[in-house]
Amino acid sequence: MTAEPPQGFWGVAGLQGPRRAPVPDEPFRVTPWEVEGVVDYARLIKEFGVDALTPDVLERLKKSAGGELHHMLRRGYFISHRDLKWVLDEYDKKNPFFLYTGRGPSGPIHLGHLVPWILTQWLQEKFDVDVYFQLTDDEKFLFNDDLTLEDTAKWTVENALDFLALGYKPGKTHIIWDTKHAGVMYPQAIRVAKKLTYSTAKAVFGFEPSSNVGEIFYTSMQSVPAFLPSVLKGKNIPCLVPMGIDQDPHFRIARDILPKLGYLKPAALHSKLLPGLTSPGTTKMSASDPNSAIYTNETPKQVRAKVMKYAFSGGQATTAEHRKLGGNPEVDASYRWLSLFERDDRRMEKVAEDYRSGKLLSGELKQMFVDHINAFLEKHRERREALRPKLDEFMLKV
Amino acid sequence: MTAEPPQGFWGVAGLQGPRRAPVPDEPFRVTPWEVEGVVDYARLIKEFGVDALTPDVLERLKKSAGGELHHMLRRGYFISHRDLKWVLDEYDKKNPFFLYTGRGPSGPIHLGHLVPWILTQWLQEKFDVDVYFQLTDDEKFLFNDDLTLEDTAKWTVENALDFLALGYKPGKTHIIWDTKHAGVMYPQAIRVAKKLTYSTAKAVFGFEPSSNVGEIFYTSMQSVPAFLPSVLKGKNIPCLVPMGIDQDPHFRIARDILPKLGYLKPAALHSKLLPGLTSPGTTKMSASDPNSAIYTNETPKQVRAKVMKYAFSGGQATTAEHRKLGGNPEVDASYRWLSLFERDDRRMEKVAEDYRSGKLLSGELKQMFVDHINAFLEKHRERREALRPKLDEFMLKV
């Protein structure tokens, strides 16, 4: 598979660039700030020391979630975890977890960002638990020469609205804005920092002598929401972190250090680093390419133009050939992205079938995706603006 | 000369140990956390790139201060500066500076800590300016394995009272408690951190791979009070930092970075790293030796016992020899420490004369110092406890 971080949060790596076929055994590199090469998830799972999200674990989750499994889980968009079974066992023993996810506010939100957030919202709904959403404006400021704190403040507000618009519960959803909540975050972050040597941080994140001292410190801040609710409530509460797998290194560190401070290891649920719109699903990363993603602030017309022009097609070169040979939904970007948003399995199966048989043309599939996503985005933007005056109510109270 | 950090603040290095004669050209090392070897101030001034506090600069200070010079300045306990003349020129042009000093709250306060604070209080009185006093509990927590945040919180309160008891003006004296003021400190600290590479921090402070990531970040927090008043008041205000010279590396960094953020370079006034009670004034540093310092929380009896037993004497071995040969006030710890607290030059001259002539015995000189310091400490403790219920009034309001 291939990568388009950031899928959900924190990460900074750009959208993907030119198409490229996968090369077996080719080296790749995944850090929270950079993804290079074509990611082989089986190898990444081994390298990161995480557990594959096997059918039995999904069954376990389905059972605790009341017999249902989100379509993103059913369709394999989440690939690995840490301690998910333990979190569910505790939940069944009336010891509920809280959810923690986040976002590095460096620009507008695209559909890929929404993937772990949509799943997090589903988890909140099914388990009726608290959600902590961290906006790491400090990270984005520290890791991006071009971003000022004014820029990150603007994106913090805009990105928080995109998150909340997915349907998070008031009263159970708590936004942590790193610099605004520094009064409560920093005193906890230094407790983590004291246990983390430069050599470990360097080994995990690959810092250079030219790295700034804020970048080196930063992971301490990302650890904090994993135990802050335990601090605030004065008792240990299990934590589950849905995230793009590129963010796992932060939590490898958190899982090592938090027990030394008397807290529980955070559990994790990892999504794939999704291929962009321009990709057949196997693409090397390059610098930011706005055409490879659909942003929540794009007009229906812009979305249509982008999909029609740039979405990688699994169809044939001519209508006649397509009718004869059929298309390949697996590599078709519109099909793949539709499958992230369309819940109905039977509809997706029919689309795949019609595409393979040649009944459904590439342009028709694109239009189907455009219609679905434009309808989604229209409602999303309405919810977003309705929430704008209520944003303060969601801010973490300390 | 020799060293007993921390004289004033921030620094952590212990009190001095065994007596040892000075060795010319011997290597020494001064960092904010460690002083090794016998410090040669002429060389240190060159190495640090600071300016010697020459008679003409002292005259300049005396002029702006209304014709008076504090006895610690007259007696050479402050040795160097950065941009002191510029700060005074600005003051004379009705552009007053603010004072910034601080303390790493890791334990009780001894007389050595009071030296730059006494001078800072004098400067506040003479120039009627604001004082910002930073209590770096984060630093002490991060740099000391044995200290918890509960320990540093306790010492923050106790140390702040020792500072305020020296007579700082209410309304013009602002205490910054790093972890309690993290909400305003951290967002400013990351602006500094973004401009500071690991390699520069390592070169200045000598970090190791085993240094924790909080230690590496910390200097950013110490930079903040040098420009925070400018941030809060929305205009650039000159800053003067009285400090032990071991703290200068932090401000070398601050002076490099603050102009890049649009702020003024902080000016500095450096005290010597004072020799301890057990020292003839030329001592290699060793681990902490509580007998080499007098703490503000020691009873008159404890002070007397400590001075009588441990204070390095410049006197002769027997009374008969002393009467015949006389003593040496220069190496006598009681004389040196008395000269830090006794303002009256004529009295000090008479003491020196009587000691040199053999008229004043070593035990009598010790008693003279004990009486002076016990009287000082008694009043100090009264003022300290009277301020305890008022501590909140001195906390920085943001």
Q: Is the pLDDT of residue A21 over 60?
A: no
Minimal-distance CA residue of chain B relative to A190: B214
Residues B172, B121 within the same domain = yes
A299 and A166 belong to one structural domain: no
Considering the domain architecture, whether residues B110 and B215 belong to the same structural domain is answered as yes
B-chain residue closest to A261, CA distance: B148
In a domain, A174, yes or no: yes
Same-domain pairing of B227 and B321: no
Q: Is the predicted pLDDT of residue A285 greater than 50, yes or no?
A: no
pLDDT for B23: 56
- Per-residue pLDDT tens over the stretch A93-152: 999 999 999 999 999 999 999 999 999 999 999 999 999 999 999 999 999 999 999 999
The pLDDT of residue A18 is: 27
Same domain, A267 and A142: yes
Shortest distance between the Cα of B195 and any Cα of chain A, in A, equals 7
Question: Can you give the CATH number for the domain in which A159 is found?
Answer: 3.40.50.620
Mean per-residue pLDDT, A12-34? 54
Inter-chain residue contact A212 with B202, CB threshold 8 Å = no
Please report whether residue B21 resides in a domain: no
What integer pLDDT is reported at residue B223 of this predicted model?
A: 97
Angle among Cα A132, A137, A141 to the nearest 5 degrees reads: 155
Q: What is the mean pLDDT of chain A?
A: 91
Element at A258 (helix H, strand E): none
B213 and A202 in contact by Cβ < 8 A? no
Domain assignment present for A255: yes
Per-residue confidence band for B345, with pLDDT thresholds at 50, 70 and 90? very high
Average pLDDT over residues B349-369: 98
Residue A7 has pLDDT above 90, yes or no: no
CB spacing of A179 vs B186 below 8 angstroms: yes
pLDDT of residue B15: 30
Residue of chain A with shortest Cα separation from B199? A209
State residue B283's pLDDT score: 58
Within a 10 A sphere around the Cβ of B395, how many other Cβ atoms? 14
Check residue B18 and give its pLDDT: 27
Query: Into how many domains does chain A fold?
Result: 2
Q: How far is CA B265 from CA A315, B236, B252, B257, B258, in A?
A: 64, 10, 9, 8, 6
Co-location of B248 and B369 in the same domain: no
Is there a domain that residue B207 lies in?
yes
Residue among B191, B198, B212 minimizing CB distance to A213: B198
Domain boundary among A278, A310, A337: A278
Look at B180 and A183 and tell me if their CB atoms are within 8 Å.
yes
Q: What tens digit of pLDDT does each residue of B207-239 get?
A: 999 999 999 999 999 999 999 999 999 999 999
Q: What is the mean pLDDT of residues B156-173?
A: 98
Q: Is residue B275 very low, low, confident or very high in pLDDT (cuts 50, 70, 90)?
A: confident
Q: Do residue A198 and residue B210 have CB atoms under 8 angstroms apart?
A: yes
Count the Cβ atoms, other than its own, within 10 Å of residue A367. Answer: 15
- Residue A246 forms part of a structural domain: yes
Mutate to test the interface with A, among B148, B190, B202, B231 (most CBs of A within 10 A): B190
Domain-located, residue B366: yes
Residue B118 lies in a domain: yes
Asked whether the beta carbons of A34 and A208 are under 8 A apart, the reply is: no
Lowest mean pLDDT among A14-23, A103-112, A315-324: A14-23
Does pLDDT of A309 surpass 70?
yes
pLDDT over threshold 90, residue A20? no
- What is residue B274's predicted lDDT score, i.e. its pLDDT? 83
Residue B170 pLDDT class (50, 70, 90 cuts): very high
The CA distance from B202 to A104, in Å, is 28
In chain A, what residues touch B398 (CB-CB under 8 Å)?
A: none
Which token pair is A354?
Answer: 């019609």
Task: For residue A149, list chain B residues with Cβ-Cβ distance below 8 A.
Answer: 187, 191
Q: Are the beta carbons of A196 and B187 separated by less than 8 Å? A: no
Residue B4: pLDDT over 70: no
CB-CB neighbours of A169 under 10 Å = 15
For residue A321, how many other CB atoms are within 10 A of its CB?
13
Rounded Cα distance, B194 and B202, in Å:
15
A190, A195, A199: best to mutate for the B interface, most B CBs within 10 A:
A190
Q: pLDDT tens, B40-79?
A: 899 999 999 999 999 999 999 999 999 999 999 999 999 9
pTM listed for this prediction:
0.91
Tell me whether residues A207 and B198 touch, CB distance under 8 A: yes
User: Is A204's pLDDT higher than 80?
Assistant: yes
Chain B positions contacting chain A at CB under 8 Å are 138, 141-142, 149, 179-183, 185-187, 189-191, 193-199, 201-202, 207-214, 216-217, 219-220
Query: Which pLDDT score, from 0 to 100, does residue B24 have?
Result: 58
In this predicted structure, the answer to whether residue B244 has a pLDDT above a threshold of 70 is yes
Quick one: which of B322, B334, B267, B24 has its CA closest to B129?
B267
Q: Are residues B330 and B218 in the same domain?
A: no
B234/A46 Cα distance (integer angstroms): 53
The CA distance from A105 to the nearest CA of chain B, in Å, is 15
Sign of the dihedral defined by the CA atoms of residues B380, B381, B384, B389, in that order:
negative
A interface mutation test: which of B139, B213, B224 has the most A CBs within 10 A? B213
Percent of chain B that is helix, strand, coil (3-state, to 5): 50, 10, 35
- The proportion of chain A whose per-residue pLDDT surpasses 70, expressed as a percent, equals 92
Residue finishing a domain among A233, A254, A278: A278
d(Cα A274, Cα A337) in Å, to the nearest integer?
A: 9
Average pLDDT of the residues of chain B: 91
Query: Do B171 and B237 lie in a common domain?
Result: yes
Tens digit of each residue's pLDDT (9 = 90 or more) over B81-106: 999 999 999 999 999 999 999 999 99
Tell me, what's the pLDDT at A281? 78
- Orientation angle between helical segments A111-127 and A333-341, nearest 10 degrees: 20
C-alpha span between B303 and B370 (Å, rounded): 7
Same domain, B123 and B197: yes
Mean pLDDT along residues B320-327: 97
Question: Is residue B258 scored above 60 in pLDDT?
Answer: yes
Interface mutation target, options A144, A151, A210, A213, chain B, most CBs of B under 10 Å? A213
Identify whether A4 is part of a domain: no
What average pLDDT does range B113-127 have in this prediction?
97
Q: For chain A, what percent of residues have pLDDT higher than 90?
A: 84
B313 and B258 fall within a common domain: no
Could you tell me if A175 and A387 are in contact, meaning their C-beta atoms sit under 8 angstroms apart? no
Query: Do B161 and B98 share a structural domain?
Result: yes
Q: How much is the pLDDT for A276?
A: 87
pLDDT, one tens digit per residue, over A65-89 is 999 999 999 999 999 999 999 999 9
Minimal Cα distance from A182: which residue of B?
B183
Instruction: Please tell me the distance from the alpha carbon of residue A378 to that of residue A376, in angstroms, as a whole number.
Output: 6
Do A80 and A173 lie in one domain? The reply is: yes
Chain position carrying tokens 């060293």: B3
Residue at which a domain ends, from A254, A278, A302: A278
Residue-level pLDDT at A238: 98
CATH of the domain at B367: 1.10.240.10
- A-chain residues within 8 Å CB-CB of B189? 214
Residue A372: which pLDDT band, with cuts at 50, 70 and 90? very high
More confident residue, B32 or B231: B231
Residue B17, pLDDT above cutoff 50 = no
In angstroms, the CA A123 to CA A135 distance is 20
Query: Do A217 and B193 lie within an 8 Å CB cutoff?
Result: yes
Domain of B358, in residue numbers: 290-384
**A interface residues, B as partner, C-beta within 8 Å:** 138, 141-142, 149, 179-183, 185-187, 189-191, 193-199, 201-202, 207-214, 216-217, 219-220
